[in-house]
């Protein structure tokens, strides 16, 4: 199975609501990253959390990391239609800077 | 950070032909990578493009099918050879600025359709 599995696969919410996505991974990591992809385009790096951090904030984003459970969550607060995208977690693997991406969560924010 | 461009942005190709995708970074970077994203799927790493030497391929990807060049620290190409409909995907290049900088910067992708 994959290094990073995310749930839910798809999430549909109303504008203004919060969206939570979860990521589980299998091997030890030194950091975990979240990326956003708008409609089949390139990925944009959102936030990186290191293994010695439990929570990190960036604007409306809040990421948590539980290394004992090998899981992370991404919370988007007060969602907007522009947040509609696919969200992927990614973990470094094989040494160096290679990344393994999770299965992704497709978020739709409706007006 | 790094700004990455790719050419072409999309193409429709015939079975059995080859397509070369170009990736240009606006600054010198240590690491460059090529990914494939099949329809509705996540990203799968094809290879790490090494400057001045042969690329390092991931399991399931071979040089004969996906030859890669990286002549300098800002440019790389990926060729998809002898294409079949199963190669229809988005191909993305990315760049990493090296040790201590773990995030990657992505190009906009090349959407390939093989008929």
Q: Are A89 and A4 in contact (CB under 8 A)?
A: yes
The closest alpha carbon to B79, from B10, B19, B14, belongs to: B19
Assess whether pLDDT exceeds 50 at residue A2: no
Contacts of residue A87, defined as CB under 8 A and 6 or more positions apart, other chains included, come to A6, A21, A34, A35, A36, A37, A46, A74, A104, A105, A107
Cross-chain CB nearest to A41 (options B4, B96, B108): B108
Dihedrals phi, psi of B103, to nearest 5 degrees: -70, 155
Q: Give the best residue of B43, B47, B89, B99 to mutate against chain A (max A CB count within 10 A).
A: B43
Query: Inter-chain contact B107–A102, Cβ cutoff 8 Å?
Result: no
Per-residue pLDDT of chain B (115 residues; tens, 9 = 90+): 889 999 999 999 999 999 999 999 999 998 899 999 999 899 999 999 989 889 999 999 999 999 999 999 999 999 999 999 999 999 999 998 766 668 899 999 999 999 9
């Amino acid at each position: 199975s994959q290094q990073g599995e995310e749930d839910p696969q798809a999430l549909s919410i109303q504008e203004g609501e919060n969206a939570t996505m979860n990521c589980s991974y299998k091997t030890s990591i030194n950091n975990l990253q979240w990326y956003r992809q708008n409609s089949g385009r390139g990925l944009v790096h959102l936030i990186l959390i290191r293994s010695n951090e439990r929570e990190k904030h960036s604007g409306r984003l809040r990421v948590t990391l539980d290394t004992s459970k090998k899981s992370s969550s991404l919370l988007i607060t007060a969602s907007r239609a522009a947040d509609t995208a696919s969200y992927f977690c990614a973990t470094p693997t094989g040494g160096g800077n290679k990344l393994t991406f999770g299965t992704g969560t497709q978020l739709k924010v409706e007006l | 950070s790094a700004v990455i461009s790719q050419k072409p942005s999309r193409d429709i190709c015939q079975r059995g032909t080859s397509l070369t995708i170009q990736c240009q970074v606006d600054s010198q970077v240590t690491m460059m990578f090529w990914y494939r994203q099949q329809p509705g799927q996540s990203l799968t790493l094809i290879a790490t493009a090494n400057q001045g030497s042969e690329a390092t391929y991931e399991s399931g990807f071979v040089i004969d099918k996906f030859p890669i060049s990286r002549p300098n620290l800002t440019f790389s190409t990926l060729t998809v050879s002898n294409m079949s409909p199963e190669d229809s995907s988005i191909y993305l290049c990315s760049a990493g600025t090296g040790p201590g900088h773990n995030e990657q910067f992505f190009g906009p992708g090349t959407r390939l359709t093989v008929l």
